[in-house]
Structure 1
Amino acid sequence: MSRLPPAIFLMGPTASGKTELALELARALPCDLISVDSALVYRGMDIGTAKPSKEILAEFPHRLIDIREPAESYSAAEFRDDALAAMADITARGRIPLLVGGTMLYFKALLEGLADMPSADPVLRAELEARAEEEGWAALHAELAAVDPESAARIHPNDPQRLIRALEVYRLSGLSMTAHRQRQMAQNPVFDSSGSGHLPYTVAQLAIAPAQRQILHERIAQRFKRMLEQGFIEEVEALRRQNDLHEGLPSMRAVGYRQVWEYLDGKLSHEQMEERGVIATRQLAKRQFTWLRSWSGLHWLDSLAHDNLQRTLKCLESAAILG
C-alpha cells in the first residue's frame, strides 16, 4: 500500500501565535499555507480579523484568504471542497500543505467529511432571528436543548450562527445534528491509525496556546486595543458604506465586527464596544478550547516556549511527515 502524502494541521485559539509559528515552519520546510479561518475568507476585513499583512502574504501566500465578498456566505462544505483542491495542488507540486487557523469546524469537516444535512433556508432563518430578537437567544438555546441536548451542550447560547443552524437542521429534516452525525458515522469508517479519517493524507495535528489561560486573555485585550488603534472602526465604517451589508450577515457577526457595528449605530459607547469586543473574543477562545480538548491525536505547544519550531520538527519526524 502506498504511503499517503503528508499534511500539517496547526490549530489553536485566537491570539495564540498560530501565524507566527506557521511562518517559521514555512521558512524551514517546503510548506504552502492554507488558511482555516471563516473570517479571513472575506475581502476588506483585514484589521478586525488580524489578517496577515500584505507584506507577509506577498512572501508567504495563503490559500483561501480574500476569496469572498462580505455580503456572501461561505460554508464548511465549500471550505472542504476548496481546501481539498488546494491540498491536491500543493501535493502535486511536491510540497507539504500546512493548514493553519482557528475555525475548528472546518478542520473537523476536512477530517471526517460532512453529514448529509439540509441546505440553509433563508425564510426559516429570518423567522428564528426574529424570534431571538423578541424572546432572546436563551429561548432558542432552550428549544435546541429539548430536541438535541448534545448539540446544545456544545453550542454556546451567545453563538447565534451555530445555534440557528442546529435548529434549522432539525426543523427542516426532523433529525437533530447529532442524529445526522451518528448516521454518518454508522455509514462510514471511523478514523484510521493516522488520525486522518476520510482525508487521504498522513496528518500531523498540532495545537498552540499559552499554558496559562490568563495570558491568552491579556493577549486578546491587548490585540483588540491595537486593532482599534490601527483603524478597526474606520474599516467597519467603510464596510457599512457597501449598501448590501447588514449586521445579520455571517461576516458582520464575526467577533469584534458586531460590537463595532453596534457602536456605529449608537447602541454602545466606545468603552462598552471595546469591553464587549474583548469579552466576545474571549468567549470565542473558550469555544475553541472546548473543541480542542476533545480532539484526539493532538500535539500541544506552549505559545511562550522559545523552541516551538524545534519541538514541531521533532513531532513531524515522529509522525512520519518528514524524512
Structure 2
Amino acid sequence: MNTAIIIAGPTAAGKTGLAIRLAQHFGTRIISADSRQCYREISIGTAKPTPEQLAAVPHYFINSHSIKEQVSAGIYERLALGYAEEIFAHNPVAIVCGGTGLYIRAFAEGIDDMPAIPDAVRDHVRQAYADHGLAWLQAQLRERDPAFWAVAETENPHRLVRALEVLEATGQSITTFRTATRRERPFRIIKIGVTIPKPELHANIHLRVDQMMAEGLVEEVRAVLPYRTHNALQTVGYQEIFAYLDGHLTLPEAVTQIKDHTRQYAKRQLTWFTRDKAFQWFDPRGDDKILSYLQSQL
C-alpha cells in the first residue's frame, strides 16, 4: 500500500537531514510541509535546505512560489496531495517533512475552507498589529471573539492575526468555519516526531540565527519590505528585522529577540505535535531505530 511518512518536530531539531537520509534509503522524494520555504525570495530566514541537499533528493514545495502570491493551508492541501500522487506513480513511499503543523494536518486529514480575506482588510489588520503589538491583538480577540479566544494559541501572533482578519471580513468567529471533518486518504500515513534535548535544541537555534545574520538576513528582509504584510513575513526572523529597519530596535536587540522568539516557536511546535498521539518520537540521529520502526509499520 502507498505510504506517506511524515517527519515533524521543532525547528532546528534535524528534520531535514533525517528526511533526506530516509528519502535516499527508500529511493523517493520529499514534499516540504513548511509554509515559508515555498517562496523563492526568502531563503535565509526560512532555513531552506542547502543547494547540496536539494540536489541530493528532489523536493516539492521549495522555491515553488513568489512572495507576490498568497499560499494557504487549503492551497497546500491540494498541491501536496497532487505531489504525493505523482510520487506514488513511481514509488510506494513518499516523505513529507516540515514544521508547519497546520499544513501537515491539511495533508493528513484535510482542512476546512476559510473565507477569502479582502486585501484591504488584511492590510488594515496587519498594519494595526505592526503599530500596536501582540498585547493589542490579544485584547481585540479576547473582547470581540471569546469563542476563539477560549481555544486559541494566545501567544501565536500568526494565528491571532488570521482570526481577526476573518472576524473583520465576515463579522463571524473563525470557529464557525471549523467543522473538524476528517477526510480519509487513499494511502497509509506514518507519523514520525523528532526532537533533541532542550539544551541542544536551543544551542542549535542560537547557532542558526547567528549563521542567518552572517549570510545576510538583514539584506534579505530589506529586499522584501514592499511585501511586509504578506503571511510568510508575519513570522520570526522577519518581524524583528522589520522592527530594526523601522528604528524600533538595535540590531543586537533584534538578534536577541529572534533567538528568544524562535525558542518560543519551537516550544509551540512541540506542543502542537505532541497533542497528536499518532506521532512516534525519536532522536533524529537514531536512524537505525527509526528505520526499524518504519519497517515494522510498512
Common fold, TM-score beyond 0.5?
Answer: yes
Correspondences of 1:71-220 after superposition (within 5 Å): 71-133=68-130, 135-146=132-143, 147-150=145-148, 153-159=151-157, 161-181=158-178, 184-185=179-180, 188=181, 190=182, 197-210=183-196, 212-220=197-205
**CA RMSD after TM alignment:** 2.2
**Which residue of the other structure, out of 251, 255, 278, is the alignment partner of 1:274?**
255
- CA displacement 1:128-152 (0-9 Å, x = unmatched): 3344355543233233234244555
Name which of 242, 254, 263 aligns with 2:235.
254
Matched, 1:27 2:24: yes
Of 248, 273, 276, 1:292 maps to 273
Is contact 1:144-1:152 (8 Å) kept? no
Structure 1 gap segments, 5+ residues each: 191-196
Unaligned runs of 5+ residues in structure 2 are: none
SS at 1:66 equivalent? coil
Establish whether residue 318 from structure 1 lines up as the match of residue 293 from structure 2.
no
Alignment partner of 2:207 out of 217, 222, 226: 222
Q: Partners of 1:162 and 1:318 in 2: how far apart?
A: 37
| Larger CA deviation: 106-115 vs 123-132 | 123-132
Counterpart AA for 2:293: C
Give 1:297's aligned amino acid. Answer: A
Call closer, same or farther: CA 1:55–1:135 in 2, change over 3 Å: closer
State the alpha-carbon separation in 2 of the partners of residues 152 and 131 from structure 1: 23
- Whether contact under 8 Å (1:151, 1:166) holds in the other structure is no
| C-alpha contact 2:28 2:91 (8 A) present in aligned 1 | no
Do the aligned residues in 2 keep the contact of 1:13 with 1:289 (CA within 8 Å)? yes
Letter in 1 for 2:292: K
Report if aligned partners of 1:79, 1:106 keep a CA contact under 8 Å in 2.
yes
For 2:75 and 2:108, how far apart are their aligned partners in 1? 14
Alignment partners' CA distance in 2, 1:168 and 1:263: 26
Report which stretch shifted further, 265-274 or 72-81.
265-274
Q: Is this contact kept in 2: 1:10–1:100, CA < 8 A? A: yes
The answer to whether the 8 Å contact 2:74/2:112 transfers is: no
How far off its partner does 1:225 sit?
Answer: 0.7
AA partner of residue 225 (structure 1):
D
Q: Distance in 2 between matches of 1:171 and 1:260?
A: 28
Bigger mean CA deviation after superposition, 100-109 or 122-131: 122-131
Aligned CA distance change for structure 1 residues 169 and 266 (closer, same or farther; 3 Å): closer
170 and 296 in structure 1: CA distance in 2 versus 1, 3 angstrom threshold? farther
Question: How far off is 1:288 after superposition?
Answer: 0.7
Under a length normalisation based on structure 2, what TM-score does the superposition of the two structures give?
Answer: 0.90
Identity %: 34
Residues 36 and 102, structure 1, Cα contact 8 Å, conserved in 2: yes
Say whether the 8 Å CA contact 1:255–1:280 is kept in structure 2: yes
Q: What TM-score does the superposition give when structure 1 sets the normalisation length?
A: 0.84
How do 1:48-67 residues align onto structure 2 when only pairs under 5 Å count? 48-67=45-64
Task: Give, in whole Å, the separation in 1 of the partners of 2:218 and 2:77.
Answer: 32
Instruction: Determine the C-alpha separation between the residues in 2 that align with 1:228 and 1:204.
Output: 36
